[in-house]
């Protein structure tokens, strides 16, 4: 289920999806997630929104990357993912966008539940 959430303190909705997703996944505020990503981006000579940067930050916090099942690579949506993952914290990568799913709910500033994720990160407890 999609639930609208915008952790950006200025309510901006474009360009900071990685910051919003990491903040929610790591249970921190937007500013803390921004600086965490900015520091990693500087060390990696990349942008904070790149998959490599936010992925590295998630790995540093106990997340692991996993592939989306290949049974229907063009029709398996974020909504499908959430239905099949009713528990846990996940960060879904859509190719140019990223959002967080927690306990079967997809959190984003807009309804991205119809998008097809390419891969995801999850935390093993």
Q: Residue 1's closest CA among 86, 88, 72?
A: 86
Structure confidence at residue 33 (pLDDT) = 98
Q: What is the pTM of this model?
A: 0.94
In whole angstroms, what is the distance from residue 42 CA to residue 44 CA? 5
Structure confidence at residue 45 (pLDDT) = 98
Is residue 54 very low, low, confident or very high in pLDDT (cuts 50, 70, 90)?
A: very high
- 12-43 pLDDT tens trace: 888 899 999 999 999 999 999 999 999 999 99
CA distance from start to end of the chain = 23
Is residue 44 very low, low, confident or very high in pLDDT (cuts 50, 70, 90)?
A: very high
Could you tell me what percent of the chain has a pLDDT over 70?
98
User: Positive or negative CA dihedral for 98, 1, 115, 13?
Assistant: negative
Structure confidence at residue 85 (pLDDT) = 96
C-alpha distances in Å from residue 104, one per residue of 45, 80, 82, 110: 34, 10, 4, 16
Q: Is the pLDDT of residue 124 over 80?
A: no
């Amino acid at each position: 289920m999609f639930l609208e959430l915008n952790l950006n303190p200025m309510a901006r909705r474009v360009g900071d999806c990685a910051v919003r997703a990491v903040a929610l996944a790591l249970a921190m505020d937007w500013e803390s997630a921004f600086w965490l990503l900015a520091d990693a981006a500087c060390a990696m000579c990349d942008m904070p929104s790149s998959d490599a940067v936010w992925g590295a930050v998630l790995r540093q916090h106990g997340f692991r990357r996993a592939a989306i099942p290949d049974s229907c690579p063009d029709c398996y949506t974020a909504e499908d993912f959430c239905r099949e993952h009713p528990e846990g914290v996940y960060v879904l990568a859509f190719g140019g966008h990223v959002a967080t799913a927690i306990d079967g709910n997809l959190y984003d500033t807009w309804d991205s539940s119809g998008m097809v994720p390419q891969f995801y990160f999850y935390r093993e407890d």
